[in-house]
Amino acid sequence: MQSHNIQDRSVSVSVSGAGGSGAVTAGLILLKSMANAGYYGYMTRFSGPQIRGGESAVVLNFSDSPVERSARSSDIHFALDWHGFERFSDEIPLTSQSCVIFDNSHDALPDSVASTGAKIIEVNLKDQVDQLEGSRANAFAVGIVAFRLGLPLNAVLEALEQILEKKGEEIFLAASEAVRRGYGLLEKKAAPLEQWKPVSHTRWNMSGNEACALGALRAGVKFAAAYPITPASDIVEYLAPRLEKYGGNVMIAEDELAAINMAIGGSFGGKPSMTATSGPGFSLMIEAMGLAIASEVPVLVINVMRGGPSTGLPTKSEQTDLNQALFGMHGEAPHVVVAPLNIADCVVTTQWAVGLAEHLQTLVVLLSDQRLGQSRAIIDAVPSKTFDLKRKILEEKEGQRSYLRYAVSPDSISPMAIPGNAAGRYTADGLEHTVSGKPSSMASDHLQQLKKREAKVTRFDYGKMWAEACFHLESTKIVVLTWGSVYHNTKAAVSELYHDGCPVALLALRLLMPLQTEAIKALCKGKKVIVVEQSYSGQFCHYLKGQGAIDASALTLAKPGPLVLGSDEIKAFIKEATND
Amino acid sequence: MIETAGEKLSPEAYLSDVRPVWCPGCGHYFVLRALTQALAWLKIPNEQIGLVTGIGCSSRISAYVDAYGFHGVHGRALALGAGLKAVRPDMNVIVAGGDGDGYSIGGNHFLHACRRNMDLTYIVMDNEVYGMTKGQPSPTTEPDWQSKLAPEGTGIRRFNPLGIALASGASFIARGSAGDQKGLSRLIVEAIEHKGFSLVEIKTPCVTFRPEEKAWYKSMRKIAIEPTDDMILAAQRIHGSDGFDTGIFYQADLPVFQPHFTEEKSIEDFEKEFEV
Ligand SMILES: Cc1ncc(C[n+]2csc(CCOP(=O)(O)OP(=O)(O)O)c2C)c(N)n1
Ligand code: SF4
Ligand SMILES: [Mg+2]
């Protein structure tokens, strides 16, 4: 059981501006500055529909303890200009408690902002930029916000140096002077950070996609093939320059049909292999995912979900590829589906996923999503973990020629021969086959191999990794079930209720398939069950009910993307559901 | 070049114990024979051969050769083979399949395999029909061939695999005939020995759905085309041929794609990058 961590010391900041105004860079600098000063932070970014040059915004939440979700509203919002700001009204909620600072050398304050009752501070950054050659408004904004927060100047300058390292001395000098000037621009106010306790241990600045990629490296992935797609591209972009210096390589595939088949080929060749994609690419990969299952070739497919169907919401988050990941393949295709719960968990769960694929010689799908993948946070370093999950490989023995690739062993996992081993020549086949791999459409062979493929996946002991349980599940009256990126806000909601005396606990699944039905059933028996998920139709809830893990009386809070399922909303739902 | 020194290997040394499901007289048998002959001449250890195929009568060949085989899904063999070659440059990767598998459903992979020019050998058993699904027109079928699916013929121009391979960057382009065993075995040897992507397009009659193709055994000319690395000349030969010429139409020394890797970093190096 995990202990609750109340984040009473936190502050939220957002920055917005037209494309090229540097709102995102300002966010990255602030996040890094906070880290340098000994704090934690979480950053999400939003952009308008334009490919390049459209308006963009960052929303940051800082604390002196780990934080991985956005605040309800912005304490400080800095508008570099008001270009397209109305697009972010949902993502950047302003209230009468907010302080809005804006550069008045562009558009006037929009009525929608004035009407929130937020405290408004105007600055003229054009004058400032004109007076300092080579400077940009966003650096002044960073200085202003840092000062308001009570963030030490040297922490910001250090971050600036790290981020602008490659841009050259001149740019760095101008930016640091602008930050300094911004820092002295507004009058002194009580700064939130004065009350905080900094930490001194090493932390990581990492996005969910980077975390998945690191997990794959830790697990020993040596080959990745992919075709670019938002929001999954960063995974392979991270891997490409690193894998080739780590005994592996990345192939740019001509499409996702190729990507998954290349990965299967790489794995057949003996190297742990993967691909990463999002909805449309995932759909294209489905046929070959079935091939990996039938031919028993280990492969990891990461799906960083976005809103669908079709091209859907390419840059926005949703948990709606669940049904497809579970049941998308034709025929009966037992495999494994896992989902990380937060950024640190992306490292661990991806490592686990690769291990499962290798050990069970099958397809593992890892479902992340845009929110998890593209958010960045300052987190505690993720300790390395060892899973004793390795591919069972046929030994090289001279003269031996009686290899049965698909032999039925007690654990249903048969040693895999790696090309080059004279003792183990065989043909991997997507056609149904006999124990030797010879194509066969006989009922007995089909049944035998169906059972083998199912048994190795369902009889395996997944240990404690299958779920995260928070607050006393055994003794509680209400169980909230969730998965994926919704975990953080759900946990926050449950935590608040729990600390208010409500008998509620949380169960967040990491292993979605094979569903640990009996375990879930035991934990939920006789309790009120509430399922929280980011979908319109309640896919997760239907799945749990369909498998008999929870009763038909369970309630669902299902909300489609792209809006975040906020902790207040979740809390209100649980409250209402439990009052009647 | 064909190795003659030492003990001779028989083509049977490369046959698995799985019996082909092909119709009696199917042209694909000759390809199996020519391929195993070529492997025997080259004396490649069985376990160093990766034979990757898609789906179709022709694609069944991966089960019939005693090697590391992969019988994957329809049209994707070139991608799977590329993945295998990427991680195992030591393996002799041979990809094989039919005209439907390679030029229709797998057409995009064909283009990109040519331009990637990895060191792969691609054997296409072109019978100008979808044999396995019982006689539908393929991309290489003539426009007026009448079938159930296209009673009046497709009316669509034929795909020109050699021309497309040349335009796409393949560095070895040959056509062979199932009827010329020795010539075909030689072509396959040359293709395997060539460094880069080698296309061997083989005319193999489908005796069941296109019995008239048996005439190919007479009409296909024995190897007369000599290799050139001149693209213009190659294009003239490819586009000037009536389709019955065999030989190597183009062979050039072009950059071969093979992902490289080193072991200079450790996982700790990567973790350090995240540190603050
Ligand atoms: C995705 C998919 N679509 C369709 C099929 C059905 N199918 C199997 S083989 C084949 C055509 C094979 O033709 P070709 O590659 O020319 O091989 P041949 O049988 O002529 O040797 C088709 C359409 C399939 N197996 N998979
Ligand atoms: S249908 Fe045609 S291609 Fe298929 S095995 Fe029979 S003869 Fe050969
Ligand atoms: Mg054919």
**pLDDT number for residue B142:** 97
- B260 touching A, CB under 8 A? yes
Between strands A467-470 and A249-252, the pairing is unpaired
Q: How many residues does chain A have?
A: 580
Which residue's C-alpha comes closest to atom 8 of ligand 2? B26
Which of A202, A269, A287 lies at the smallest CB-CB distance from B87? A269
* Residue ranges per structural domain of chain A: 10-195, 207-380, 392-441, 463-579
Long-range CB contact pairs, B219-223, < 8 A, 24+: B219/B244, B220/B177, B220/B179, B220/B180, B220/B244, B220/B246, B221/B245, B221/B246, B222/B177, B222/B180, B222/B183, B222/B246, B223/B176, B223/B180, B223/B183, B223/B186, B223/B187, B223/B247
- Burial environment of residue B19 by CB neighbours within 10 A (0 to 12, 13 to 18, 19 or more): exposed
Residue type at A340?
P
Q: Is it the case that residue B38 has pLDDT exceeding 90?
A: yes
- The answer, yes or no, to whether the previous bond of A562 is cis (omega within 30 of 0) is yes
ipTM confidence: 0.98
Band of residue A4 on the pLDDT scale cut at 50, 70, 90: very low
In angstroms, the CA A274 to CA A269 distance is 13
Q: Is it the case that residue A36 has pLDDT exceeding 70?
A: yes
In angstroms, the CA A234 to CA A254 distance is 17
Q: Which ligand is nearest to the CA of B74?
A: 1
**pLDDT number for residue B186:** 98
In A467-552, the DSSP E strands lie at: 467-470, 478-483, 504-509, 511-513, 528-533
Which tops the pLDDT comparison, A51 or B140? Answer: B140
In angstroms, the CA A533 to CA A557 distance is 6
Band of residue A3 on the pLDDT scale cut at 50, 70, 90: very low
Which residue's C-alpha comes closest to atom 2 of ligand 2? B206
Which of A248, A268, A288 lies at the smallest CB-CB distance from B76? A288
Which of A257, A419, A431 lies at the smallest CB-CB distance from B68? A419
**pLDDT number for residue A476:** 94
Domain B18-273 is in which class?
alpha beta
Q: Is it the case that residue A467 has pLDDT exceeding 90?
A: yes
Check: CB of residue A232 under 8 Å from CB of residue A302.
yes
Ligand 2: atom nearest CA of B57 is 4
Helix ranges (DSSP H) in A463-502: 487-499
In angstroms, the CA A267 to CA A125 distance is 56
Q: What is the largest CA-CA distance in chain B?
A: 75
In angstroms, the CA B187 to CA B176 distance is 7
Which of B51, B83, B262 lies at the smallest CB-CB distance from A265? B83
The residues near A491 (Cβ < 8 Å, ≥ 6 apart) are: A470, A506, A508
Chain A contact set for B36 (CB, 8 A)? none
**pLDDT number for residue B109:** 98
Q: What per-residue string of b and e applies to A390-418 under the rule 16 or more CB within 10 Å gives b?
A: ebeebeeeeeeeebebbebeeebbbbbbb
Lowest mean pLDDT among A194-203, A205-214, A390-399, B113-122: A390-399
Give B247 to chain A, closest Cα distance, Å. Answer: 30
Count of CB pairs separated by less than 8 Å, A with B: 195
Give A508 to chain B, closest Cα distance, Å. Answer: 27
CA of residue B129 to ligand 1 center, whole Å: 10
* CATH number, span A10-195: 3.40.920.10
Check: CB of residue B58 under 8 Å from CB of residue B6.
no
Band of residue A189 on the pLDDT scale cut at 50, 70, 90: confident
Chain A contact set for B95 (CB, 8 A)? none
Question: Does the A463-579 domain belong in CATH 3.40.47.10?
Answer: no
Query: For residue range A399-418, what is the model confidence (pLDDT) as tens digits?
Result: 667 899 999 999 999 999 99
Which tops the pLDDT comparison, A563 or A115? Answer: A115
Band of residue A53 on the pLDDT scale cut at 50, 70, 90: confident
**pLDDT number for residue A74:** 96
Query: For residue range B104-120, what is the model confidence (pLDDT) as tens digits?
Result: 999 999 999 999 999 99
Tell me what the mean pLDDT of segment A61-87 comes to: 94
Query: For residue range A38-47, what is the model confidence (pLDDT) as tens digits?
Result: 999 999 998 8
Residue of A nearest to B112 (CA): A254
**pLDDT number for residue A54:** 83
**pLDDT number for residue A1:** 28
Asked whether the whole model's pTM tops 0.90, one would answer yes
Tell me what the mean pLDDT of segment A156-170 comes to: 92
Residue of B nearest to A290 (CA): B73
Between strands A119-123 and A99-103, the pairing is parallel
Q: Do domains A10-195 and A207-380 have the same CATH topology?
A: no
CATH homologous superfamily of A207-380 = Thiamin diphosphate (ThDP)-binding fold, Pyr/PP domains (3.40.50.970)
Query: For residue range B75-104, what is the model confidence (pLDDT) as tens digits?
Result: 999 999 999 999 999 999 999 999 999 999
**pLDDT number for residue B5:** 56
Strands of A478-483's sheet in order across: A467-470, A504-509, A478-483, A528-533, A555-558
DSSP state string for A20-76? TS-HHHHHHHHHHHHHHTT-EEEEEEEE-SSSSSS-EEEEEEEESS---S--SS-SE
Chain A contact set for B50 (CB, 8 A)? 268-269, 419
Query: For residue range A260-293, what is the model confidence (pLDDT) as tens digits?
Result: 999 999 999 999 999 999 999 999 999 999 999 9
Tell me what the mean pLDDT of segment A13-38 comes to: 96
Residue of B nearest to A222 (CA): B87
In angstroms, the CA B101 to CA B108 distance is 11
Query: For residue range A480-523, what is the model confidence (pLDDT) as tens digits?
Result: 999 999 999 999 999 999 999 999 999 999 999 999 999 999 99
Residue type at B266?
S
Looking at every residue in chain A, the average pLDDT score rounds to: 95
Sign of CA dihedral A29, A35, A38, A40: positive
Q: What per-residue string of b and e applies to A275-311 under the rule 16 or more CB within 10 Å gives b?
A: bbbbbbbbbbbbbbbbbbbbbbbbbbbbbbbbbbeee
Query: For residue range A337-371, what is the model confidence (pLDDT) as tens digits?
Result: 999 999 999 999 999 999 999 999 999 999 999 99
Tell me what the mean pLDDT of segment A72-92 comes to: 93
In angstroms, the CA A114 to CA A100 distance is 9
Instruction: Establish whether residue B209 lines the binding site of ligand 2, counting it when its CB lies within 6 angstroms of any ligand atom.
Output: yes
Tell me what the mean pLDDT of segment A203-224 comes to: 98
